[in-house]
């Protein structure tokens, strides 16, 4: 079985520091061929990139995207500080993928365009990954201190043959959201959902417990007195029993006053919290220079389209306005295609059946022609 390591990198120039949209690639025409650089990393076999709407589609020209490839286009870097980072794209596994990725990687400016490969460092890896019935998930991998960290959440991806949109939003407050087809499927905090950052607060190593700190939640009530009727025996003699020789008459235990809340109680003592000098803000990206596809697939044919990097969440949402119509159109086209293939298959089966019957008839005819003629011997009439 032939496999492919597919690598694709795209870089697009950012002309304004305050730009809302850093990259938007819809592959509307063949101009992409002038802007994309194919990686030349040695030792791997890579798939080729073509512009196509696939085998079934809603609008042939509008739906044209890019199957797997290995290429890139350089851009000017941008920073994410103080802004949302939105990564969005559509992917269509029309080959009914059984094992392979459909994710993207976001790179900083250290990437060598023509040498991109599977081990090239990246900042974010995001998108679906499918392999058999056991692996059908959305990767959200973040790089921190040159180490890749997988999310602790199990996010399920789509596994059908139609177009689906994947959106990752990372916000300045270190929160994130993952969407599929514009609907939220997971969200949370970067620090809590990835095991990569030390806690924001740590115990002050110089702090000591105050001498007057009282850990007791309650203390004896100094104003409480022993009730006058307290001293009653716990047991009385059984009138029907005789006193054993070893019987002890001192049955009452030592009296203790009831407990009340201690007004001096401060709770369990803990050191005050101070800022953790080891804490780093994960959200901030000093530079982002490109987005790429670095994929291994058993069966090629995945179509990527509508690649978008922006700081405008609403813009990304608006970009998916026609997605539902596209999906419905694809489903209708796929049904018609399946019906036509089924009818064609049935027609072929019928033709084969007719051919077989004709061959059988010819064989029967040949057999009849080959029956030897029996000559009766001459004899005298009686």
The binding site for an alpha-D-glucoside comprises: 103, 105, 122, 129, 294
**Cα dist from 30 to 287, 338, 353, whole Å:** 29, 30, 46
The pair phi, psi for residue 266, each rounded to 5°, is: -115, 5
For 69-123, give the secondary structure using H, E and C.
CCCECCCCCECCCCCCEEEEEEEECCCCCCEEECCEEEECCCCCHHHCCCCCCCC
The CA angle 322-325-326, to the nearest 5 degrees, is 85
Distance of CA 363 to the CA centre of its chain: 62
Residues 6+ apart with CB under 8 A from 196: 142, 144, 145, 147, 149, 282
By the 8 A CB rule, do 73 and 36 touch?
A: yes
What CA–CA distance (Å, rounded) separates 203 from 273? 6
Burial 165-203 (b: 16+ CB within 10 A, else e): bbbbbbbeebbbbbbbbeeebbebebbebbebbeeeeee
By the 8 A CB rule, do 299 and 95 touch?
A: yes
* Run of H or E including 318: helix 313-318
By the 8 A CB rule, do 11 and 75 touch?
A: yes
Known binding positions: 103, 105, 122, 129, 294
What CA–CA distance (Å, rounded) separates 294 from 94? 19
Can you say whether the dihedral through the CA atoms of 204, 206, 211, 212 is positive or negative?
Answer: negative
Tokens of 259: 């407990």
What CA–CA distance (Å, rounded) separates 293 from 125? 9
């Amino acid at each position: 079985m032939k496999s492919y390591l597919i690598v694709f990198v795209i870089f697009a120039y950012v002309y304004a520091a305050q730009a809302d949209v850093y990259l938007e690639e819809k592959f509307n025409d063949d101009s992409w061929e002038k802007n994309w650089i194919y990686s030349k990393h040695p030792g791997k076999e890579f798939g080729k990139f073509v512009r196509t709407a696939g085998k079934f589609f809603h609008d042939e020209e509008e739906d044209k995207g890019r199957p797997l490839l290995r290429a890139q286009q350089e851009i000017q870097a941008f920073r994410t500080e103080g802004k949302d980072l939105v990564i969005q794209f559509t992917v269509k596994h029309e080959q009914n993928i059984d094992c392979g990725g459909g994710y993207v990687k976001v790179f900083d400016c250290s990437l060598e365009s023509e040498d991109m490969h599977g081990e090239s460092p990246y900042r974010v890896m995001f998108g679906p990954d499918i392999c058999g019935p056991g692996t059908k998930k959305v990767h959200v991998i973040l790089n921190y201190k040159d180490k890749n960290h997988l999310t602790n959440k199990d996010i399920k991806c789509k596994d059908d043959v139609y177009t689906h949109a994947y959106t990752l939003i990372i916000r300045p407050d270190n929160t994130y959201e993952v969407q599929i087809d514009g609907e939220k499927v997971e969200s949370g905090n970067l620090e809590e959902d990835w095991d990569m950052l030390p806690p924001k607060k740590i115990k002050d190593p110089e702090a000591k417990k105050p001498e007057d700190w009282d850990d007791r939640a309650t203390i004896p009530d100094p104003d409480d007195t022993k009730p006058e009727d307290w001293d009653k025996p716990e047991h009385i003699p059984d009138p029907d029993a005789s006193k054993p020789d070893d019987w002890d008459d001192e049955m009452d235990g030592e009296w203790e006053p009831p407990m009340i809340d201690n007004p001096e109680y401060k709770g369990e003592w803990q050191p005050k919290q101070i800022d953790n000098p080891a804490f780093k803000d994960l959200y901030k990206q000093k530079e982002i220079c490109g987005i790429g596809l670095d994929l291994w697939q058993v069966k090629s044919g995945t179509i990527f389209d509508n690649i978008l990097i922006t700081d405008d969440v609403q813009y990304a949402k608006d970009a998916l306005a026609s997605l539902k119509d596209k999906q419905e159109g694809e489903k209708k086209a796929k049904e018609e295609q399946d019906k036509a293939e089924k009818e064609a298959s049935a027609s072929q089966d019928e033709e084969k059946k007719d051919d077989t019957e004709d061959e059988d008839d010819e064989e029967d005819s040949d057999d009849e022609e080959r029956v030897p003629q029996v000559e009766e011997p001459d004899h005298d009439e009686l």
